[in-house]
Structure 1
């Protein structure tokens, strides 16, 4: 049987409400050993071994857990008997963890991130099916070479594309610019294309200490003073969650251009759920970077890695954001 390593970080998939119909619940209550015992009766065609990395609400996810999770994945991938890794995760920040791992892990074995929208004791708990689907994906040799994958609601997403778009319901995730790249059930798997990263190493080095990058959220009547209050002495990068195609008030543009001229990279993203942010003629003079298809939270992750690696030139940063 295929041998898979399951690394647990908590979230709703391991949550408990105490009632089958309660709305409130506590994330990260079920330990990995108990969870694997729970899924043991599903008849999954894989040998699973588990390790608890954390057991938290994913709203609390950050470097402390990432710095434990990343080496644990590398250790599992280095085991010749391990065919793939599954990471259980809360859905609120799942896309950020998945994207960070996608940038910093090799693509020679499957790494699948999975979560749930309902706690384990709720009516219609989706965690067991999502987990069974994740096992199907991680067990498939064709999953290798696609980077980190996310499995939610019978769909397989690439980490670069996936985003949470709904607060409720089991179909809470979508992909942009690519929608799902596969459909999966516990017994079937259909890919929509060939692997695109086969045999490729990690796209970025790993850094234990990520620099501070702030997100400026544009709204009507945003003033430059709000931006100045947000950007501190330790800030090493700025991502703009702009209106429309990464737009902002003129006074805000002037202040951000000053930061960019002084060596703090500024990336224009959009607060809109879907849409490309292309370069515009003023970007050269402002020294701004266009986020392309990345939303603000993913743009922040990529910019943190680039700045940590000493890449601060806007043209060099733009080339990284242009990567397909």
Structure 2
């Protein structure tokens, strides 16, 4: 039986054009989904692909405007009995945030795979076609269901909660933490490293088309309390601290963050380190702080936004949600 996959395109480098096979600069999101599916149609991927253009942007511009179109389109595809899985083409710069947001707000009944490329479509060594072919292999595999949203890049399959972009160049630009990849894939082979962990579960959070404003405070040498104040205004509903080490910050900044937390603004301590695991400290309870555990600042922000959108502001309850990711 032929596998039927829905491809939802948002642009990015995978649909980018440089105008030269060796140019350094390029424009993201130049190729339409119809053009792209015509290009991959000659590869003999063994799946019936139908496409829809959600957006055609550089993923640096990704945000609620596109998410609010993308999420219902995926939900509609998953509810279609004739659809076996969904592939989302996406730029790499914010790919991990979109994947994590979708993972938290979609059921795990059918595979959802997010895929991108590090080189534009007319570049020497374009990786987009291979990544896309790999994504088709993953999305069409019966064992892919129950694993939540996945990311396919560089012949590896990553879970959305683990994946992060770690390099600005080269095709091996993504890594997973705390788990590395969950599978290895080529256009003709797929090896999983474990059984599905979610099963056919419902979404962890309902979709919100109006995510609350959460600021990320990036800690650096010589930062002062005034730097924090400039990033927090009356519309700020929550704060993620991208701390040094295990979510640490200077005492002068800590005092200001504690004041904000005492006034009811939820605060999550994350780490700016690439492989930063942040555990709770003895002072966290008194400070009303939450430890991000293995989530990096940008993913901690997504989870906190969803919690706040559901009305949750209690630090203990927020900590339980982070502990469960």
**TM-score of the pair, normalised by structure 1:** 1.00
RMSD between aligned residues: 0.4
Deviations 1:274-317 (A, max 9, x none): 02100000101100000000000000000000001001100000
Match of 1:161 in 2: 162
Aligned-partner SS, 1:113: strand
Q: Deviations over 1:204-263 (max 9, x none)?
A: 011000000000000001000010111011000000000000000101111111111111
Name the structure 1 match of 2:276: 275
Equivalence map 1:120-139=2 (5 Å)? 120-139=121-140
CA distance in 1, matches of 2:309, 2:253: 26
Mapping of 1:137-152 within 5 angstroms? Answer: 137-152=138-153
Correspondence 1:261-272 to 2 at 5 A: 261-272=262-273
C-alpha distance in 1, partners of 2:166/2:141? 28
Written as runs of structure 1 = structure 2, the 5 A alignment for 1:267-306 is 267-306=268-307
What SS does structure 2 have at the residue aligned with 1:177? coil
Distance 2:283 2:29 in 1: 46
Please list every run of 5 or more consecutive structure 2 residues that lacks an aligned counterpart in the other structure.
none
Equivalent in the alignment of 1:314: 315
Measure the CA separation in 2 of the matches of 1:229 and 1:186: 49
Name the structure 1 match of 2:85.
84
2:5 corresponds to? 4
1:172-251 alignment, distance < 5 Å: 172-251=173-252
CA distance in 2, matches of 1:211, 1:79: 31
SS class of match (1:163): strand
Q: Is the Cα–Cα contact under 8 Å of residues 21 and 123 in structure 2 kept in the other structure?
A: yes
- Specify every segment of 5 or more residues in structure 1 that has no aligned partner in the other structure, as ranges: none
Distance 2:181 2:65 in 1: 30
Count residues in correspondence. 324
Query: Given that residues 270 and 276 in structure 2 are in contact (C-alpha distance below 8 angstroms), is that contact kept between their aligned partners in structure 1?
Result: no
Q: What's 2:104 paired with?
A: 103
Deviation at 1:141, TM superposition (A): 1.0
Matched, 1:254 2:264: no
Q: Distance in 1 between matches of 2:125 and 2:205?
A: 39
For the residues of structure 2 that align with 1:35 and 1:252, how far apart are their CA atoms? Answer: 49
> 2:118 aligns to what SS in structure 1?
coil
Mapped partners of 2:304, 2:71: distance in 1: 18
SS in 1 for 2:52: strand
Q: Following superposition, which runs of at least 4 residues in structure 1 exceed 6 angstroms of deviation?
A: none
TM-score normalised by structure 2 residue count: 0.99
